[in-house]
Amino acid sequence: MEKITVLVVLSMLGLVGGTRCYTEGDKIKTRYQKIFKMPIYNKHLTVNAGKDLRCPDYNRIRPAEDYSSRSISPWRYRIDVDENRYPRKLAFAQCLCKGCIVGSNLTESNSHVSVTVTQTLMVLKKTACKGDKTPGSRKFSLKVEYISVPVACTCVLPKY
């Protein structure tokens, strides 16, 4: 039912469905933000691009204030860019440890496992307009898709 409601709202606002074709100059980003009342991605998010992907040793370094580095299953964010998707940029979480940081010595233990926590997100995917024969034209239509986005990491017992 929720999926049908979203499609009806998007169709009424002229974003998906029908034969509507867009060009890069159209204000898709603005329309997307108005519909969902959310930013494309949090610009204040700490992105650790290019930083070490090793599990931190809290005996040698002090964790930062954000949850991603204070967790017993720490993670970092990377920005995933897809030019054929709205929003184009999404923050994806990556676990830094295979195990979890447990015990009084604050080091990684393999008695538990770090796994990603995902959230299903609705995105709009660009597809080429059918029948558009204008030379050099890059017109596209939009199709609703649901993708699974890793948003954090958590510590769980391993599967046996």
Q: What local confidence, expressed as pLDDT, does residue 13 receive? A: 46
Residue whose tokens read 């769980």 = 156
Indicate the range of 81-90, 95-104, 127-136 predicted with least confidence: 127-136
Distance CA 152, CA 75 (A): 7
In this predicted model, what pLDDT tens digit does every residue of 118-143 receive, in sequence order? 999 999 998 888 766 666 667 888 88
CATH number given to 2-156? 2.10.90.10
Q: What local confidence, expressed as pLDDT, does residue 86 receive? A: 86
Distances in whole angstroms, Cα of residue 85 to Cα of each of 7, 60, 106, 122, 151: 17, 41, 40, 10, 18
